[in-house]
Amino acid sequence: MKKVALVTGASRGIGRATAARLAKAGYAVGVNYYERQDKADELVSALTAAGCEAIAVQADVADRAAVDAMVRRVTDVFGPVTLLVNNAGVAGQALFQDITDELWNRYFAVNLNGMRHTIQAVLPSMIHEKSGCIVNISSIWGQHGASCEVTYSCTKHAIIGLTRSLAMELAPSGILVNCVAPGVIDTDMVQVLGQDTLRDLAAQTPLGRLGTPEDIAAAVAFLASDDASFITGQVLTSDGGFIG
């Protein structure tokens, strides 16, 4: 069966690096984006120029109809999705007492409901084939918690629960479900913290540096590989030793 990957939130950062890594490993890749079509098209152009198969597909993962349309588009072009990487997410800092209903609901709509939408969209073909792989991106803040990031941490904790429970449910169908928990990764999402804070976070990391999107892409690629065929329901932490 043709190897087909769908990577959500793939126009920048971890998703972009993951899509590139998988494409170079022989996957036909659906590069999902929400707003940055320019970045998604740029990546697709680079991959196709290198002889890889890739298309850009727009969807807000919080919108089930948009997700269903995206999966149909990828399936029509490449065939059924065999690897789903749930990377799309939103993050930010706020004191708990300042969290609005709008912020709380949007974070859960994207970070958690988005995964429900994408997984349910690709599952029928995976169950039919009795094979498939799902890799969810959580965070060390989903294992440890983070001050002033309660909403984000809650969603990332929930993703770990989703991963572990769904892995047990889908194991009889031969479908693997795992999770990667990145540490502090040098992406646009963390650049907003400022260089002083980033230097401090790098100093707090035992390996002495921030992670790169490529570090996380490598972890995803491992969980999607044949070398991980007996691994399911696990959380692979890639954080340079940050939380020990």
Is pLDDT at 154 greater than 90 in this prediction?
yes
pLDDT of res. 244: 65
Domain assignment present for residue 146? The answer is yes
> Residue 152 catalytic?
yes
Q: Show the 3-state SS of the chain.
A: CCCEEEECCCCCHHHHHHHHHHHHCCCEEEEEECCCHHHHHHHHHHHHHCCCCEEEEECCCCCHHHHHHHHHHHHHHHCCCCEEEECCCCCCCCCHHHCCHHHHHHHHHHHHHHHHHHHHHHHHHHHHHCCEEEEEECCHHHCCCCCCCHHHHHHHHHHHHHHHHHHHHHHHHCEEEEEEEECCECCHHHHCCCHHHHHHHHHHCCCCCCECHHHHHHHHHHHHCHHHCCCCCCEEEECCCCCC
Q: For residue 90, give both structure tokens.
A: 């939103």
Query: Phi and psi (nearest 5°) for 18?
Result: -70, -45
The whole-angstrom separation of Cα 15 and Cα 214 is 10
pLDDT of res. 125: 98
Domain assignment present for residue 220? The answer is yes
pLDDT in tens, 195-219: 888 898 899 999 999 999 999 999 9
Domain assignment present for residue 170? The answer is yes
Domain assignment present for residue 242? The answer is no
Domain assignment present for residue 219? The answer is yes
Q: For residue 68, give both structure tokens.
A: 């269903």
Domain assignment present for residue 243? The answer is no
Task: State which amino acid sits at residue 218.
Answer: A
- Which position has the higher pLDDT, 204 or 83? 83
Is pLDDT at 191 greater than 80 in this prediction?
no
Place of tokens 């919080």: 62
pLDDT of res. 173: 98
How distant is the alpha carbon of residue 175 from its chain centre?
17
Cβ distance 155 to 211 under 8 Å?
Answer: no
pLDDT in tens, 8-58: 999 999 999 999 999 999 999 999 999 999 999 999 999 999 999 999 999
Domain that holds residue 54: 4-237
The whole-angstrom separation of Cα 243 and Cα 38 is 36
CATH number for 67: 3.40.50.720
Domain assignment present for residue 244? The answer is no
If we measure between CA atoms, which residue out of 108, 120, 137 comes closest to residue 65?
Answer: 120
The domain total for the chain is: 1
Task: State which amino acid sits at residue 234.
Answer: Q
pLDDT of res. 196: 85
Domain assignment present for residue 9? The answer is yes
pLDDT of res. 146: 87
User: What's the pTM?
Assistant: 0.96
176 Rama sector, left if φ>0, alpha if ψ -120 to 50, beta otherwise:
beta
